[in-house]
Amino acid sequence: MDDAKPITEQAMETITTAVEATKDAAVIAVKKVKKAAKKVAKKVTPKKAAKKKAAKKKAAKKSSKKAAKKSSKKAAKKSAKKATKKSAKKVAKKATKSKKKAKR
């Protein structure tokens, strides 16, 4: 410390140098953090895209599965309905035939 300078001036100089050093350190730290963030982003972004793609694929597969299930259910219902109609017609035909035979 310089005895020729007043204490306040010495304190101001010390504070100024400390502030400048802190500022420099902060700037360097920010640069390092930005660089690290870019590196991480490069690694993470492709994974995120792949995950999104996989999720889309999964959703599409699920919806197509659902649609297939629905259509098969509909087809089964239709065929069951047709079968009951056919059997009812057959029964009616047989009944009329037997009535005709009975009349003879």
Q: How many domains is the chain built from?
A: 1
- Give the span between the Cα atoms of 33 and 24, in whole angstroms: 14
- Give the span between the Cα atoms of 82 and 75, in whole angstroms: 10
- 12 lies in which domain range? 1-75
| Residue 18 covered by a domain | yes
What is the band of 33 on the pLDDT scale with cuts at 50, 70, 90?
Answer: very high
Cα angle vertex 87, ends 81, 89, to 5°? 105
| Residue 66 covered by a domain | yes
- Indicate the DSSP class of residue 57: H
| Residue 87 covered by a domain | no
8, 16 contact by CB (below 8 A): no
| Residue 92 covered by a domain | no
Mean predicted confidence (pLDDT) in 17-21: 89
**Which pLDDT belongs to residue 103?**
65
What are the tokens at 102?
A: 């009975």
| Residue 40 covered by a domain | yes
pTM here is 0.35
| Residue 38 covered by a domain | yes
Four-residue CA torsion sign, 52, 53, 59, 63 = positive
